[in-house]
Structure 1
């Protein structure tokens, strides 16, 4: 093999390595871009207050349908607390 052939072979290998590195870098950029887009979508969903309220309401309805007793007990406790506040306010006058 001559000197110029050896140089061409090493030059071709370097070009192929550069292309491989370039495609690896592009693939990494594409993956990072996709991850960023997914993260932004998740943040948008979490910060969308009307959507989150709808989800919370749906969960509450579902929970009440499965077992209404904790909801009824909670409502009773809230009513007693409110009555206590009203009584305290009336007595302090």
Structure 2
């Protein structure tokens, strides 16, 4: 009987560990914080690609706005 109880306790402990791992993996605020920390570290290490990427995104947005405002509407 004690062996069965011990085995059941081991199974409960394994299940609890698995559920904790799943909860940790799907913890969005924690994952977002980790992503932000990695992005900050990458920017501090070499900001040039970040600046170039930001300029490219700005150029695309400005182009889309200009196209929407000044584009011909043939409909």
Return the structure number with greater helix share. 1
Whether the TM-score (by the shorter chain) exceeds 0.5 is yes
**Are 2:60 and 1:76 equivalent residues in the alignment?**
no
Encode CA deviations 1:31-81: one digit per residue, 9 max, x unaligned.
Answer: 322221121112212222222211111111111112212211211111111
Flag as ranges the 4+ runs of structure 1 deviating above 6 A. none
Name the residue aligned to 1:11: none
1:1-93 matches, within 5 Å, as: 23=3, 25-92=4-71
Calculate the TM-score normalised by the size of structure 1. 0.62
Per the alignment, do residues 69 and 27 of structure 1 end up closer, same or farther by CA in structure 2, a change over 3 Å counting?
farther
Matched residue pairs, number? 72
Q: Which has the larger radius of gyration?
A: 1
What is the RMSD computed on CA atoms of the aligned residues? 2.0
Structure 2 residues without counterparts, runs of 5 or longer: none
Calculate the TM-score normalised by the size of structure 2. 0.74
